[in-house]
Amino acid sequence: MEINGKPLTQMTIADARTALLAGEVSVVELVTAHHARIDAFDQSGPALNAMVTVSDESLQVAEGLDAALRAGATPGPLFGVPVVVKDNLLTSGMPTSFGSKGFRDYRSARDATVVSNLRGAGAIVIGKTTMPDWASAWFANSSRSGWTKNPHALGHSAGGSSSGTAVGIAAGYAPIGLGTDTGSSIRLPAAFCNLVGLRPTPGLVSRDGCSPIVAMQDTIGPMARNVTDLTKVFDVLVGFDPADPLTHRHSFARRGAPYVNALREDSMRGKRLGVLRGAFAPDSVDTREVNRVMESALLQCMAGGATLVDVEEEWLPRLIERTFLYRFAARRDLNNWLKEQPGVPFTRIEDIVGQGGFDPRIPLLSYIGDPSDGRTSSSAFHAAIEAREELLSRLVGTLEANRLDAFVFPTTQSTPPLLGDVMDPAWNTVDGFLSPSVLASSAGMPALSIPAGFSSHGLPVGMEILGRPFDESTVISVAYGFEQLGSHHHAPVSTPAF
């Protein structure tokens, strides 16, 4: 199927809306076509294994939208657009398993606020996507669903923890989707799967109906194949929600206009971007290709009219290590949330871990669920909080001192690893692999990963754009400006158009 002259793997929200409102395609036909791609590629063909649940109700919902349009209803901004959502977001009508085999059959009677927002805008949730148990890994293995493959390189990791959402969008199961981000869980799979992914400032998007891991650091954000679609979804998600007290911070953003207003073709011109050299790794077998692609991307920024300022911050690695909050907050936050959910099979992460209800290859969950862990003293917790404040102060202070609009650096220092390698201690989530994208997570800043190019072996490389808290407009503007200089997004060859 083609929509507005494009295959589904290239279809945008605008393409879908134009075709639907012109009567060139029905919502039922559009949803059916996306279901066909899931049938062809998820458990068959390349067997990407990105979907946990495919909605039985999505065609019925599509029929209702078609009928409403015929009756003259005003279509919402995402009218008829299929969307996939991560399986830690509550959805009425579908199970929510949180990546855990112990929650395989758990159902909630309600939607997460962000899911309600999508439905209210006219989007159709066609399924739930794979994730590591309780969003506790940067790689795509789960006790509930096993391994999820990278559609650009089937033997390589798709990243995590928003693994399935990234793979589903890249493979054309839906043009847009939702992930969650505590450490790097939107941006890392976006980089590995050649997508755009946004981690908003915590408090701009409601976390109601989403399982936590570090509540003060958790946020929900959109993923898409281009900046425009991502921004349209973000506009639907943002806002105050009485069910999530942290969204009082929405007022700090002082958003007087939709974020789509930041999408200006020449928006790279005049920008001052800080190249955060401390986030680049020395050249090695694993990092050389990322550095090469990034240097090319930086030249593109300059050609588009940006001024680049090299920023050397030797203190970065030392300070980042001191901001790690999982040991202090994750068990408490997850247990408190579980106790509030009706009908759950477990109310303590210690019991889930103790009874083997998780993938034991995820070291962070063992670490979180170990009741004998004594590294939770109040003095150590306060030291971590102080380190986070210092990190934020240093980063924003550097932006101000150099009159910078944002920082840029590689989302990850290496290309996607082989699936067989990610259990090596070098990739360990607790104290091995460290993505520079944790900067935004620890400092409470917004960040966006955008495709920057491919390695010589065809592996995607992402560039991260890091901005001031509540300044998503500038982050989006820089990303859109970069995309206008030459998009680096390409559909994966493993899931061709048909």
Residues 6+ apart with CB under 8 A from 273: 301, 306, 307, 308, 309, 404, 405, 406, 407, 408, 478
Task: Give the separation between CA 304 and CA 281, rounded to whole angstroms.
Answer: 26
Interior angle at CA 139, CA 391 and CA 237, nearest 5: 65
Q: Coil, strand or helix: which one is 154?
A: strand
Q: Alpha helix locations (H) across 355-437?
A: 363-368, 378-401
E strand or H helix that includes residue 202: none
Residues 6+ apart with CB under 8 A from 226: 12, 196, 483, 487, 489
Query: One-letter amino acid identity for 156?
Result: H
Q: Alpha helix locations (H) across 185-238?
A: 187-192, 227-237
Task: Give the separation between CA 264 and CA 248, rounded to whole angstroms.
Answer: 29
Look-up: residue for tokens 């303590």? 348
Instruction: Give 229-270 as a 3 state SS string.
Output: HHHHHHHHHECCCCCCHHHHHHHHHCCCCCHHHHCCCCCCCC
Catalytic positions, written as ranges:
86, 161, 185
199 and 232 Cβ atoms separated by less than 8 Å? no
Helix, strand and coil content of the chain, in percent to the nearest 5, comes to: 40, 15, 45
Q: How many other CB atoms sit within 10 Å of the CB of residue 408? A: 28
What DSSP string describes 425-489?
Answer: GGG-TTTT---TTHHHHHHT--EEEEEEEE-TTS-EEEEEEE--TT-HHHHHHHHHHHHHT----
Residues 6+ apart with CB under 8 A from 401: none
Task: Give the separation between CA 488 and CA 399, rounded to whole angstroms.
Answer: 27
Using alpha carbons, list the distances in angstroms from residue 289 to 159, 196, 315, 422, 485.
18, 20, 25, 19, 21
The DSSP secondary-structure symbol of 369 reads: T
